[in-house]
Chains A and B, each alone.
Chain A
């Protein structure tokens, strides 16, 4: 009996979990903004002091959308977040877009680093005690780098979202949470590859807001723009109907 009691005591600890149930983190998770996803993550959100290995096919463009609600919540609460960008990336963050998504830009640090310096910069940011969330595209991160970054994240309190290509899914990774993320017509399809708990068989479908008009302040009522699906018709013809003088459109044909 005493043995069983001690075992139950052991299971009640935050850092021990039984294989077929979710680990109980001490409520340290950062809410993701999607209740369906929160329910499937140990701790009810993005884990603090750990890496999240996100496999998406486009260098963090779709993966970043997964973290935008958490980013908005943290920055509005005055917590520091960081976005690490490779110098070579053809994309750059667009300020009005992030502001419209509710992110307080004053608390978002944008760091640009070359591929060689990126792991170092990641480590420094993760070790800083006052950064809560780091988004970094590291397509070339090896398992050794991931292990090092996981250690750095464990030393600080930050969630480190590392975006890599789907081809790394077969590699071992030190991150306690691994996701595969892809854009689908309904929004985002998230497949949890690894978590502290039983693996999730079916992918989660997370709805994404359609592009909306920008109003002052994130809390203002957003008016839904009626979608204009215009399949079939010639594009330049559509463009003509919308804005362009006919002569210009015809000349394209």
Chain B
């Protein structure tokens, strides 16, 4: 087991999407987090708001938004699902990831840690990390802002020794008591005889130390990747700009793909709502050809859609909803790139074409059991296999059909198209009568005699004589 702890020391401030500088977040009259500028002026967590205001008159004091903090923490937890399904959410500002099983897949500890840190940086969240074979030791390392890795169980006591006692988060009275024993760092506490320490400072201290050193099992609350995905994001300022929307939506999509990876699932549809201030949201539906969880596919589709979207109002926030996902096992990487990806390649192409040309622009032909030529073919979703037509021995059908039959003039023993005086058609087959369609309300009732006709230059066409309304029409081309 190898645990990676992520601690977000400035989470109350980072979760505030808009604020001016200098700023501090306060709860019940006490400052809980302050930005760089106000910290430079001497403002710290735990200070009274009135004192902080006195020190820095221009300070903007923002009320703490616990819901936003929890949402941001959950968003990062979802992203981490991409790296490991074993994510624990530690209130109020930390995450624990079990990464032992993922090290090899992501190329070792360093690349994995950098990828996770990169995901946090995209969310502008301050981060401290620590890694150790036990969860508690990793958390203490991160809380002490150690930013280092303890790789083995044997080196754990030495790795923890230099940490300040405050990193444990024990009650202040206990910390004072330990300081009274002369312990300045965790190493001093570890050096004390354990039974005596437990008798004087309480059994809980001994238990925590045992769990940190891996001598006792620690039960951790696992983060639950819910059945349906739903994340909301407030933008720092209302915007109409596609670039800003792309970035913000990319953040949500990254969380979505992490959520899907942790659930071993894929989705084919997700709904992105662009929230306007005081108005109904605009909806962008991203529709994939098949369930997938590749970030790149969603992102490309999103860019195609956002580029072509006309926004009625500026966007103040985004909401992404998806799920429930369909089971989609991961696939084994191929040793040699083969033709296995043909179907996926086609899906990508279809998605890209659909994104730009519209949903109805791409399809496959399918034969329909209907005797009327206009209804004998239909455009269906690509790749949908229709059974072959049951009717055999039917007279020939052309390759091309006119969307609207073209009237022909009957002249000097032949048929003549209106615009082409040179083209005279002669009938070259017996008539095939195609009629009726009374069940069709939308004007599907026909009564026609079809002939194969040939022009002088060799063109073979399909013409009919309408014996209901009269007149000759050009309908097909062989």
Contact = CB atoms under 8 A, between A and B. Distances in A.
Interface string B36-47: 000000000000
Contact of A214 (B396, B402, B457): B396
B428 A228 contact: yes
Contacts of B467: 244-245, 248
Q: Which of A97, A185, A231, A232 has the largest count of B CB atoms less than 10 A from its CB?
A: A97
Interface stretch (B191-199, B317-325, B407-415): B407-415
A242 B449 contact: yes
Interface stretch (A21-29, A38-46, A122-130): A122-130
A223 B394 CA distance: 11
Interface size range on A against B: 35 or more
B203 interface: no
B357 A111 contact: yes
Contacts of B393: 213-215
B400 A243 contact: no
Given A94-B399, A213-B396, A228-B427, A112 B389 contact: no
Nearest to A237: B413
B470 A105 contact: no
A13 to B, nearest CB: 26
B377 A93 contact: yes
A185 B428 CA distance: 13
A90 B352 CA distance: 26
Given A91-B400, A124-B353, A239 B431 contact: yes
A185 B458 contact: yes
A149 B439 CA distance: 47
A44 B350 CA distance: 31
B378 interface: yes
A186 interface: yes
A128 B346 contact: yes
A99 B388 contact: yes
Interface in B317-374: 339, 341-343, 345-346, 348-350, 352-353, 356-357, 360-368, 373
A215 B389 CA distance: 9
Q: Which of B379, B404, B415 has the largest count of A CB atoms less than 10 A from its CB?
A: B379
Interface size range on B against A: 35 or more
Interface stretch (A3-11, A61-69, A196-204): A61-69
Contacts of A113: 357, 361
B449 A98 contact: no
A121 B362 CA distance: 11
B415 A235 contact: yes
A95 B362 contact: no
A120 B356 contact: yes
A64 B272 CA distance: 41
A91 B401 contact: yes
B386 A230 contact: no
A235 B379 contact: no
B400 A97 contact: yes
B353 A94 contact: no
Contact of A94 (B345, B377, B390, B415): B377
Given A80-B342, A108-B365, A90 B356 contact: no
A100 interface: yes
A216 interface: yes
Given A128-B345, A213-B393, A101 B399 contact: yes
B426 interface: yes
Contacts, number: 217
Give chain B's interface secondary structure class. mixed
A93 B451 CA distance: 19
A229 B433 CA distance: 19
Contact of A215 (B348, B352, B357, B392): B392
Contacts of A231: 413, 426
Contacts of B341: 129-130
B266 interface: no
B465 A106 contact: no
A121 B357 contact: yes
Contact of B394 (A108, A213, A228): A213
A100 B391 CA distance: 11
Contacts of A91: 400-403, 477
Contact of A90 (B342, B350, B385, B402): B402
A225 interface: yes
B450 to A, nearest CB: 10
B431 A243 contact: yes
Contacts of A121: 353, 356-357
Contacts of A90: 402-404, 406
Contacts of B460: 183, 210-211
A108 B364 contact: yes
22 contacts: A64-B400, A80-B342, A91-B403, A94-B476, A98-B399, A112-B361, A124-B349, A124-B353, A125-B353, A130-B342, A185-B457, A211-B396, A211-B452, A214-B393, A220-B392, A227-B429, A230-B426, A235-B414, A235-B427, A238-B427, A243-B430, A243-B431
Given A111-B357, A124-B352, 12 more contacts: A95-B376, A96-B397, A97-B401, A113-B361, A124-B349, A128-B349, A131-B349, A215-B392, A215-B393, A235-B413, A239-B465, A243-B430
Interface of A: 61-62, 64-65, 68, 80, 90-101, 105-106, 108-113, 117, 120-121, 124-125, 128-131, 182-187, 210-217, 220, 225, 227-236, 238-239, 242-245, 248, 251-252
Leading 4 A-B pairs by shortest Cβ distance: A95-B377, A211-B396, A243-B431, A242-B431
